[in-house]
Every structure is written in structure tokens, then in C-alpha cells.
Structure 1
Amino acid sequence: MKSAAIFDAMNEVKKMLQSIELLKKENTTRPRSLTYSKFSEEFIKMSQDGEYEKIYQSAMKNADYDFVLKDDSFFQLSCDTISGSDDTIYIRYAYYPNPRYYCSYEQFLKTHGLSYEECDDSFLIYYEQEIAEARLKSAVTPIRYEYDLHKYVPEIHPISHLHIGHEEDMRIALSKIMIPQKFVSFVIRAFYYKKWKNAMQANDLYKEICRNAKHKCSLVPKDFFHNEKMFLYLE
């Protein structure tokens, strides 16, 4: 897959999230970029062996996200290419769920008989205090997709795979190279079922992007996948 296609796909992801009213904000603190080095050194180091909440807090503090959702979960989308070429050697998409229980600012106002239209951001200081005191969830399930040419080892480390949860060694092989829209729709269906259900019933734009995404996912080259067919994998 070409990096240019992934870059263009970020616009489709934004449309998807906006169409189901799930997008809180896009990262505008830096130019839109794909390279993994756009994320802070602190986050990269911590993500390798840190506790989940600390990883999450590091990312939020350093704006190590591409799209933040209304529940303060976020997506990261990145890829790297061979120097001087557009041939992708590493793709990484990640979903990091918010590890704490708290409602949106709009819902916070509503519980106090207020609306955003009448008070704007006047009560943000109280809302931020509620967030700081919010209890941790008993479990969270981050999701990560990787296509990694350098780490491919036949029968041991699939070139295209999903990580589910915070366990680095848990990999599910994929026979296709996932595009951002496919990854995001997978997460929405798994974690935001009501949004998914409503969109698939009445949101033509969302349905069109999801259905087109399936046909845009190219097959993993045979040389990198024939060994995987003897094991469980996703098509």
C-alpha cells in the first residue's frame, strides 16, 4: 500500500467520525503527518513497557493522537516508507480507549440542568475536577494494527496483524493490508455499537465509506503469507 493512499484516507476517517457525531477534535498542533516519529519520545518509550494509564496520559499530554473521540479515546494513524520511495514498510493504526469513567462536558452540563449554548465553557474548571476524580475502569482494550516488513518471521511474526489488548505478544494474522477506514470501522463496531447500528441503518455516507473500505484493502503478497494459512487468521 502506498503512503499517499493512507494519507488521503485520513480525510475519509474524519468524515466517518463526524457523520456519526463521534469526533471531538483532530490534532491541529502540528502539520498532518504519517511518520511514526510524529509521536513524542516519551510516548514511544512508555508504550513499550509502561502501564496503560500512564501511556494514555502521556499521549494526551503530548498531543500524540490524530483524532480524539467524544469520550476522550483516540486514534493514531501512521506509516513509514523506504527512503526515496513510496513503498510502505511499516503501517501502524492504534485505538486507545479512555481508561476512566466520566461523561462528556455536554452531558455534565445537562445533569446540572444546563446546556452548552447558555453557558459555553464557563463550567470547564468544574468538569475538569470531575475528570481528575473519575474512577479507573476495571479493564480497557486498546487495539493496534501493524504491517511490519522488518519484523516479519514466517510462522512466528505475521507481516500483517492485529494486537487486541495490552499484550505485545498477542497477534492475529490478517491476509490483507488494512486501510485506516477499515480499522476505524472495526473499532466503532466493537466499542460503539449504538453508533454503528444507527449509522448502518440510516447513514448513507458512513455505509458507503465502510463498504468501499473492504474493497480497498489489498492482499498481503503471497511470499509473506502462505505459511500463515496453516494457522487461524482473519481474511
Structure 2
Amino acid sequence: MDPKNILKQIRQLTVDVIEAGICDAQNFPSLTQSPRGISEIGISSVDNSIFLKNIPYNEMYSELLKRKYYNFKMIDGALISLLYRFQNNDIIAHRLSFFPAPNLEVFQNEPELYLEDEIYLEFLDKRIVTVPLRFDFDSGEAFVPVEHPKSHLTLGQYENCRIPVSSAVSPYQFMEFILRNFYHTARNKSCLDLTKYTDKFEKSIVSEEEALVHVCTSS
């Protein structure tokens, strides 16, 4: 699970998602390396400071869309990004994000395109609440057992929502999780079209976190 393997995995998954017909825009990943042995896999020429701003979700989504800050723009408008940082081939951080569209404005103009698709029918269900999510990993000074696990899941942009995760999350694990839970219908099993990767990161969860409800990536 070194930078080159992660880059290769994201590139193949990008092809898979395009071929599945569930995204309408995409950016292939880039790999940059520094003399200090830091390798970053992300999206070329994009500033990620937008994540740090305290602004309404609608505004943040619009800014991400305008800057094309995503690996995938899904057919329902959701933005998916996969960012990894390594030092000497050891993972030190990642941010894997899923930002649903706050609304589907195109529906007002072309409703027939949505009403014929199971995915859109569920998205337009008035009971559905838009919830962004991120799988973050940070092995640096931010790590505090239980309070700030190295690997954690954040729901709804809540600052202190950090559900422990047993390890860093691979590109395949993340995309399989997103497609299975948000783009998997009786007729459209998009997650089954992904190239499968069995490589996993080493366990990073500590015993105090493992005693809590947590997400396990080892199975």
C-alpha cells in the first residue's frame, strides 16, 4: 500500500466508475513528491483550504464544484474526493470525502431524466436528509486516543464527530462503501462493477477505541 499502488488503484477505480455510467465529470489523480520524502496523491492544482472555512454547507459545496475539487462528480451531483499523503512509503494522512448535492436544480427542467432512474427516485424521497461524510486519517500530533483517533469517520461536518475506524481506508474500500450504500439499487449494482483490491492498511486503532462502537475495515 505505497503511493504508486494507491495511485494505480485510484486510476483504475476512476475508469470503473466512468464505465458504470454513474458520474458525469471526473479528475484523474496526480502524484507529487517533495525532497523530504513526502508523497501526495490528490487532484492537480487545487487548493484544499475550503475544508477549513466555517461556511454553510451549500456555499462549501458550490465552492468545491466551482474549483472542480473532486475525483468524481456523480450523476446526482455528489462530489467524491480521495486525498492521500505518505512519508517514505508510510501513510501519514488521508481525507476521503463524500459531499452530496444540496439540491437537484436540474430536476425542475428535466424531471423525466430523474423519475426513470431508481437512484434519483431515492434521492428525491422527501424523507432523505443530505449528510456529507469523511474518512480521515492522521498519524501526527493530532492523534489523541478516543478523542481524536488516527483513523475516524466524520458525519455531517460535525467538528467533534470522530467515529473510530480500525485502520486507514484504501481507495477501493472507500468507493465500495459509497457505491454500495448510496448507489446500489435492485437494478443498479454499481459496486459490483469495481475492480476488486484486497490490499489493506495495517491496523491503527488502539484498545480504548476498539472497546467503543467503531468501523472495522479488516473483514
Structure (1 or 2) with the greater strand fraction:
2
Q: Quick check: 1:156 aligned with 2:139?
A: no
CA distance in structure 1 between the aligned counterparts of 2:210 and 2:78, rounded to whole angstroms:
34
Q: Quick check: 1:145 aligned with 2:145?
A: no
Structure (1 or 2) with the greater helix fraction:
1
CA distance in structure 1 between the aligned counterparts of 2:49 and 2:94, rounded to whole angstroms:
20
Q: Quick check: 1:171 aligned with 2:162?
A: yes
Q: CA deviation at 1:6?
A: 1.9
| Gaps in structure 1 of 5+ consecutive residues | 112-136
Q: CA deviation at 1:110?
A: 5.4
CA distance in structure 2 between the aligned counterparts of 1:74 and 1:7, rounded to whole angstroms:
19
CA distance in structure 2 between the aligned counterparts of 1:226 and 1:38, rounded to whole angstroms:
39
Is the 2:84–2:91 Cα contact (8 Å) retained in structure 1?
Answer: yes
Matching residue of 2:97: 94
Q: Quick check: 1:191 aligned with 2:182?
A: yes
Deviations 1:43-89 (A, max 9, x none): 2443xx2110011001111111111111221111111223xx22221
Given candidates 54, 65, 69, the residue that maps to 2:70 is: 65
Is the 2:78–2:98 Cα contact (8 Å) retained in structure 1?
Answer: yes
Taking structure 2 as the reference length, the TM-score comes to: 0.75
1:154 maps to a residue whose letter is P
Is the 2:24–2:74 Cα contact (8 Å) retained in structure 1?
Answer: yes
Q: CA deviation at 1:226?
A: 2.6
The structure whose Rg is larger is 1
* Percent of aligned positions that are identical: 21
Is the 1:76–1:95 Cα contact (8 Å) retained in structure 2?
Answer: yes
RMSD across aligned C-alpha pairs, in angstroms? 3.0
Matching residue of 2:10: 10
Deviations 1:121-151 (A, max 9, x none): xxxxxxxxxxxxxxxx984211101111112
Change (3 A) 1:45 1:173: closer
Q: CA deviation at 1:11?
A: 1.9
Matching residue of 1:129: none
Taking structure 1 as the reference length, the TM-score comes to: 0.70
